[in-house]
Amino acid sequence: MSKPHAIIVGAGFTGTATAHDLALRGFDVTVIDRGDICNGTSGRTHGLLHCGGRYAVKDQESAIECIDENMLLRKIVPQAIEPNGGLFIALNESDLQYGEVFIEGCEACHIPIEEITPQKALQLEPNLNPGMLAAFLVPDGTFDPLRLALSFAATAKKNGAKFRIYTEAKSLILDGKGTVVGVDILDRASNKQSELRGDIVVNATGAWAGEIAEMAGADVPVKPTPGVMVAYEQRFVQRAINRLNKPGDGDIVVPQRRMVIVGTSSFEVSDLDYVPVFEDHVKLMLERGAELIPGIRNAKVRGKYMATRPLIGGGMGRSSARTFKCYDHKETDNVDGLVTITGGKATTLRAMAEKTADVVCEKLGVNTPCTTKDVQLISYRQYYSQPN
């Protein structure tokens, strides 16, 4: 009866970060996932630690979240981040025009940017398109997707959270009064089914959030929107390169180990569990990527893959806001004991966890404030050595 028990479904970015937050606030936490850490959308991000510039014009709420969280993550989890900065570059008149609203937007969202001459930009990144017309230095960064999540998971484990990987949520257990009191789980390693009881269930399954919520008859307006990314076998740049224009296809190039990754496209699907990588999207990435960095045209492809973003709200594709939302299903569907967190993006994982944990604490009458802004995360490798 001492500690409240929270079950988190999903061990991606939001799941591990929420586990970390709740563990710090004194919860007993059990994280379940049908696969290993980050086997869904989280693992497959291109790894851009957004400064918010991308959203500064049309989606300032997201932009502010990004810049704040970007600065925070650099401090609390440097082991998974390359703080090398980024560039927004203009290649044509339309880009230049967008530059004006971009500057205003960044100012409004307190994103520190610095305009540099194309010559200076080429000095910093010699492989950029020499025909660029304008360039802005921004505080972007890159992160290693799996290791970012593992750092949160390791710290959560250190604070007592338990991780049950290869454990699938088969259904939600309802008490007859419409309250979720646990999860029917299947341990996929041993093929054994059992019940996991908890005081609250957090649905942190991102693009799959709708499927889990539906188990309790609740609804989450998440629109899974996959995008294709292509990794090329040469590290052309040290900084993340963004096209200075409205967010569009293939307008980001992110350095990752000895590669660069060009992303992304955007389409809609019905079956989330297997989304094919379409060749025409791969070609589009090559075309668009080569506009930013001509050398990409002759580089060898190392990997082609896709990830399914969890977009929320009414908009279509790119017009949807990239902010996140936490649903207390008591309020939205009159289903108690279930909270869903979805939307958002990797950069804002900590903020998403804070919001979720706030909602959970309020529901359970726990009065502990969030401390994740100040807690240094431990090495991602300790995820494996911390007792489970």
Residues in the site for other proteins, rule: CB under 8 A?
35-39, 42-44, 47, 78-84, 123-124, 126-127, 142, 144-147, 166, 188-191, 229, 231, 235-236, 238, 255-259, 261, 271, 273-274, 277, 302-305, 379-385
User: 209 or 282, CB closer to other proteins?
Assistant: 282
Q: Where are the alpha helices (DSSP H) in 186-261?
A: 209-214
If the CB atoms of residues 93 and 271 are measured against other proteins, the closer one turns out to be: 271
Instruction: Give the whole-angstrom CA distance, residue 165 versus residue 190.
Output: 12
* 38 torsion bin: left (phi>0), alpha (psi -120 to 50), beta (else): left
Amino acid at 325: K
Note whether 141 and 81 are within 8 A (CB): yes
Minimum separation from the CB atom of position 209 to other proteins (A)? 19
Spatial contact of 105 and 63, defined as CB atoms under 8 Å apart: yes
> Which ranges in the chain belong to alpha helices (H)?
13-24, 60-76, 93-108, 118-124, 145-158, 209-214, 279-292, 329-333, 349-364, 382-385
* Ramachandran angles phi, psi of 272, nearest 5°: -85, -25
**In the complex, least distance from residue 312 CB atom to other proteins, rounded to whole angstroms:** 24
Q: How far is the CB of 336 from other proteins (least distance, A)?
A: 30
User: How far is residue 174's CA from residue 291's CA, in Å, rounded to a whole number?
Assistant: 54
* Nearest residue to 360 (alpha-carbon basis) of 18, 65, 32: 18
**Residue nearer to other proteins on the CB measure, 113 or 259:** 259
C-alpha Rg value of the chain to the nearest Å: 21
Nearer to other proteins, 72 or 146 (CB): 146
Alpha-carbon span 367 to 189, nearest angstrom: 38
- Alpha helix (H) ranges present in 189-346? 209-214, 279-292, 329-333
Task: Give least dist CB 274 to other proteins, A.
Answer: 4
Nearer to other proteins, 2 or 190 (CB): 190
**Minimum CB separation from other proteins for residue 353, in Å?**
19
For residue 88, the cross-strand partners are: 136, 242
Q: Which amino acid, one-letter code, is at 245?
A: N
Nearest distance in Å: CB 349, other proteins: 15
Q: Closer CB to other proteins, residue 368 or residue 385? A: 385
The least CB distance from residue 122 to other proteins, in Å, is 9
* Closest separation in Å from C-beta 110 to other proteins: 24
Residue 192 or 197: the one with the smaller Cβ distance to other proteins is: 192
Whole-number minimum distance, CB 73 to other proteins, in Å?
A: 13
Evaluate whether 86 touches 290 at the Cβ level (below 8 Å): no
- Please say which residue, 52 or 145, places its beta carbon nearer to other proteins: 145
If one counts every other C-beta atom within 10 angstroms of the C-beta of residue 321, the result is 18
Sign, CA dihedral 13-148-306-102, equals: positive
CB of 19 to other proteins, least distance (A): 17
Integer Cα distance of 364 and 359 in angstroms: 9
Q: Which is nearer to other proteins, 25 or 46 (CB)?
A: 46
How many other C-beta atoms can be found within 10 angstroms of the C-beta atom of residue 334? 11
Q: Which is nearer to other proteins, 304 or 318 (CB)?
A: 304
